[in-house]
Amino acid sequence: MRLVRAANGRLVLAHARDPHEGSGRGGYDLDAVAEPVRHAGIPVETCIVNLVPGEESETIRQTTREHGVDVIVMSTHGRASLQRRFRGSILERILHQAEVPVLLVPASHEPAWPDDRPLRIVVRLDSSACARQVLGPAAGLAQAADATLLLLRIVQVPHVTMNDVGYVYPRFDWEAALADAPHILGIVDRLRTGGRTVELRLLVAAPSFDLADFAIGEEVSIIAIATAGYDDIDELMFGQVPTRILKRGGMPVLITSDQTMT
């Protein structure tokens, strides 16, 4: 609702059901869910979709096209639930094949986004396809929601042991590490020229740098990441964005895939 209101958009509430479920079960009252949204003055549509086993991704894709959806919003629970839901699940296929970004929100997301300051979206920039893949959707969401875009460039400290020569004074190839600085500054300049509020940070950090912990300290509202470059969804969720952050309601995660249309 916060994003829709900021973007002057509309909300589509979709209920996915198994068409083979028995008719004896109580129906899901989607209109009751939509009523408080309408009462808040937000345009809302409702739809019920049948998820046929094996065709879930295509059904969701067709629904997003029919309703002109820009972002899919879904919720998830803690570690155990993620492990059960992500391996071979509908959610995994949606994340990898969705044509629009997916905003994954912790089911216990607290506290709510504050109303007294703009939202903040963090994107880690590097030379990988992941950064290029996620920057467009993250910038688009920032513009629609009048959010601040926090671009983060990490220079990693070389991994050394006590027996290494550079243990006390690690040596950097700064020329190589900052070779992409003009490119990054160009990105920032184009975003600011386009009217977006952008912050740029350069950090020197260990290989164990935790993006989620950084985001908490910076009062970030959304972490934006891409699925490209990860072997599987477990690596995605248990690596860069620890599940413990999602579980305790740290912050939502905007996920894009190579299928996402910018």
Task: Give DSSP secondary structure letters for 22-64.
Answer: -TTSPPP-HHHHHHHHHHTT--EEEEEEE--TT-HHHHHHHHH
CATH class of 2-106: alpha beta
pTM for this entry: 0.80
Q: How far apart are CA 189 and CA 151, in angstroms?
A: 12
Q: Which residues pair with 108 in a beta bridge?
A: none
| Cα–Cα distance list, 141 to 67, 94, 196 (Å) | 18, 19, 10
Question: How far is the CA of 231 from the CAs of 88, 93, 244, in angstroms?
Answer: 14, 14, 20
Q: What is the pLDDT of residue 128?
A: 60
Q: 119, 150 in Cβ contact below 8 A?
A: no
pLDDT tens, residue order, the chain (262 aa): 888 988 899 999 998 887 776 544 556 788 899 999 999 999 999 998 887 777 777 888 888 999 999 999 988 764 444 444 444 456 666 777 788 888 888 776 666 787 788 899 999 887 566 677 788 889 999 998 889 999 998 887 766 566 655 556 667 777 877 888 888 898 899 999 988 899 999 988 877 777 778 888 888 899 888 765 444 444 444 444 445 555 554 688 888 876 665 5
In CATH terms, the superfamily for domain 120-227 is HUPs (3.40.50.620)
Domain ranges of the chain: 2-106, 120-227
